[in-house]
Structure 1
């Protein structure tokens, strides 16, 4: 006989999954692959207008034989080892008219050198299905903003590119983008008054570049700052504690953490090690 607790406990509500298919892919730089995904499942996504909108891909091990959509509760209960990996990607571009979207995936090597999602993206063929959830997000350049400061790395490049494209042509500011390799620079559309500055090499140079900025005037300033967790902690101290920029004017968080796969990174967000505020 079931206990009262078992009888009254509400069933876990599974998050809605959208199943799209690969329509095409293009290597837009040596280490950046653009995937175009679309199909009838597009309408199941919780579309939003944020320029940092993101989806979570559900990537199953090819050897599992699983096909999307996935019954995550059943897998968690009976075969947790087969649970698809969740990986977060910013939507580079929405195409509502054609029911498709673009995702830019950073590649770190070949085969096993890539992560789960990057390996799937590199090997994906037109027609391959992929399940995803979303979209989330929370940052959009405000039309009335006098100046913009965007700080990011390869992982944040799609969000920065989308933000630059959405800005008023009269917008002013600076975009600081770190890349490990100069060959991965992209031609980005941006307002004439927004300087595009690439920081190539050691990621700590991004801290030096921000430290050198005059941030004494906060009025009308909107900041987007999303990089590796350790660098984000340092940048938050520079922007909030030292420069005194009001928290309401910043969108700041870590997009990833050095030496962590996303499962570890997401779990650590709830622990002291994952906090970016000191």
Structure 2
């Protein structure tokens, strides 16, 4: 429930110039069911024949839902390439990125969890009022990370936005592997269903009014570094990245190839604002880390 790289790249924030992309084609999805999990979380089931037969081997696969701006005079179905060529940028569909909670490419179905508190934004209000038969388009799926059998143990860390990827990783653990999952939510009334299995330890971290990511970082730091060969999946609010990267890479010298870490979103920013500023934000963190290393 944004934004991923391969394990070898995930630790590095810096990006290289992108090659010119081929025009992307949107895929249609129809709402088949809506189920509220908590007062602020709703799970929506979709039917999407366009994903049938696709290979989705990772546990963090995501899609980019497309929302038509209110001032635009078109609606789905539309040709995305034509819109981008003929209309100004402010009239292009707006994307919001969400991770699959469940996906079945044989049946052409998937489920997505949405945080729905408040009436601001695009995806949350849409999901809050979604009903069977509603249709929406999306780009993707993308994705790049999954629990590999070269590891004995997995530490999975995130807030509500990363919970679907964490849940899917727990369901796909290699035989004999163990895992510790840390999920940050608003409070004790905000728990939702998560996979349970032998060897899996789930810890709920309650914000209780604290800044997103702060309590989560504190709990993970307090748990320390496992003794087994461990892979780390750390995703969620951007504000926790500085502390978590210091804990992993500086304080404990965890190998960067063992860590997938990135910010799915940032406090006070829309997805568009975060994506536009993400490279600078990441570069600042890396520069600070280099300075800290030079001092020691």
Same fold (TM over 0.5): yes
Which residue number in structure 1 is paired with residue 157 of structure 2?
A: 151
Structure 1 residue 47 displacement after superposition: 4.1
Distance (Å, rounded) in 2 between the aligned partners of 1:274 and 1:186 = 35
Which residue number in structure 2 is paired with residue 213 of structure 1?
A: 223
Q: Secondary structure at the match of 1:174?
A: strand
Are 2:72 and 1:64 aligned? yes
Q: Secondary structure at the match of 1:133?
A: strand
Alignment gaps of 5+ in structure 2: 1-19, 290-296
Which residue number in structure 2 is paired with residue 3 of structure 1?
A: none
Higher-Rg member (1/2): 1
Equivalent of 2:100 in 71, 77, 91: 91
Contact 2:71 2:91 in 1 (8 A): no
Distance (Å, rounded) in 1 between the aligned partners of 2:31 and 2:49 = 12
Structure 1 residue 81 displacement after superposition: 2.8
For normalisation by structure 1, the TM-score amounts to 0.86
Are 2:38 and 1:32 aligned? no
Equivalent of 1:170 in 161, 168, 176: 176
Report matched runs for 1:123-162 at 5 Å. Answer: 123-162=129-168
Q: Secondary structure at the match of 1:215?
A: coil
Which residue number in structure 1 is paired with residue 56 of structure 2?
A: 48
Are 2:124 and 1:118 aligned? yes
Alignment gaps of 5+ in structure 1: 1-10
Distance (Å, rounded) in 1 between the aligned partners of 2:176 and 2:22 = 46
Which residue number in structure 1 is paired with residue 234 of structure 2?
A: 225
Distance verdict in 2 for CA 1:229–1:41, change over 3 Å? same
Distance verdict in 2 for CA 1:134–1:47, change over 3 Å? farther
Bigger RCO of structures 1 and 2 (CA < 8 A, at least 6 apart): 2
Cα RMSD for the two superposed structures:
2.2
Are 2:79 and 1:75 aligned? no
Contact 1:170 1:192 in 2 (8 A): no
Distance (Å, rounded) in 2 between the aligned partners of 1:270 and 1:116 = 24
Structure 1 residue 188 displacement after superposition: 1.6
Q: Secondary structure at the match of 2:162?
A: helix
Distance (Å, rounded) in 2 between the aligned partners of 1:72 and 1:37 = 21
For normalisation by structure 2, the TM-score amounts to 0.82
